C-alpha cells in the first residue's frame, strides 16, 4: 500500500466516524439534523446545523409518527431534502446580508463620465464603520472616505459627494 493509499484510508475512516444515521439524529456531509421537542406545542421540530456553527441554520416543524406521540424517524431521503432546504435558506440569508452591507449607485461626474459610488459597511462589534468609495469607468478608485455605518447612500447623496470634490460627508 502506498503512502497515498494509507492517508486516504485514514481520512476515510475518520470521516466515517462523523457520520451518524439515527432516528432522531443524522449527521453527514457537514450537516446535522436533530429532531427536538417543539416547545410551543406537543409536536416535534427538526433543526439543521452546519458543521462548525453554534446556531442552527434552520428550525422547522417535524412530522409525527404513526403512533401520534413520537416523531417520524429521519431517513436518507428526508435528510437530503432538509440539507437542500437549509442550504438554500443559508444562501438567501447570505445574499440578503451582502445586499445590506454593500450598496452602490452610479452617477454622472462633472465631465459626464459615469462614476460608481459604493458603500461597504463593516459591522465591527466595537467600532462599526463604512467605506464610501468612488470608482471611474475603468475601475480605478477616485476617492475613498470612512463614514458612519448608518450613512444613507442614494443617487442624491452620491451626487453631492462627487460635486464636493469628495470631501468627507458631514
**Which backbone phi and psi does 166 adopt, to 5 degrees?**
65, 30
- Structure-block grid coordinates of residue 67: 403512533
Note the pLDDT of residue 155: 96
Element at 5 (helix H, strand E) = helix 3-18
Residue 76 lies in a domain: yes
Note the pLDDT of residue 150: 94
Same domain, 92 and 12: yes
Contact (CB, 8 A) for 161 and 134? yes
Same domain, 68 and 143: no
* Structural domain boundaries enclosing 80: 3-99
Residue 30 lies in a domain: yes
Residue 49 lies in a domain: yes
Note the pLDDT of residue 16: 47
pLDDT tens string, the chain, 170 residues long: the values are 444 444 443 444 344 458 999 999 999 999 999 999 987 777 899 999 999 999 999 999 999 988 888 999 999 999 999 999 999 999 999 999 999 999 999 999 888 899 999 999 998 989 999 999 999 999 999 999 999 999 999 999 999 999 999 999 97
- CA angle, 145 as apex, 141 and 150 as ends, to 5°? 125
Cα distances (angstroms) measured from residue 109 to each of 90, 104, 115, 116, 138:
39, 15, 6, 10, 14
Same domain, 23 and 65: yes
Q: How many domains does the chain have?
A: 2
Residue 37 lies in a domain: yes
Note the pLDDT of residue 145: 97
Note the pLDDT of residue 3: 43
Residue 83 lies in a domain: yes
Same domain, 26 and 85: yes
> E strands within the chain?
20-21, 25-28, 31-37, 44-50, 58-62, 102-108, 114-122, 129-135, 141-147
Amino acid at each position: 500500500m502506498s503512502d497515498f493509499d494509507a492517508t486516504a484510508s485514514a481520512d476515510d475512516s475518520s470521516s466515517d466516524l462523523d457520520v451518524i444515521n439515527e432516528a432522531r439524529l443524522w449527521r453527514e456531509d457537514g450537516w446535522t439534523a436533530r429532531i427536538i421537542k417543539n416547545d410551543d406545542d406537543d409536536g416535534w421540530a427538526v433543526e439543521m446545523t452546519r458543521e462548525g456553527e453554534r446556531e442552527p441554520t434552520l428550525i422547522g416543524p417535524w412530522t409525527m409518527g404513526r403512533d401520534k406521540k413520537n416523531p417520524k424517524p429521519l431517513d436518507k431521503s428526508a435528510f437530503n431534502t432538509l440539507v437542500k432546504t437549509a442550504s438554500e435558506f443559508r444562501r438567501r440569508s447570505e445574499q440578503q446580508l451582502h445586499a445590506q452591507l454593500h450598496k452602490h449607485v452610479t452617477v454622472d461626474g462633472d465631465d459626464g463620465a459615469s462614476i460608481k459610488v459604493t458603500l461597504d459597511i463593516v459591522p465591527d462589534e466595537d467600532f462599526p464603520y463604512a467605506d464610501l468609495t468612488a470608482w471611474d469607468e475603468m475601475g480605478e478608485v477616485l476617492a475613498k472616505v470612512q463614514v458612519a455605518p448608518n450613512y444613507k447612500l442614494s443617487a442624491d447623496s452620491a451626487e453631492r459627494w462627487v460635486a464636493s470634490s469628495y470631501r468627507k460627508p458631514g
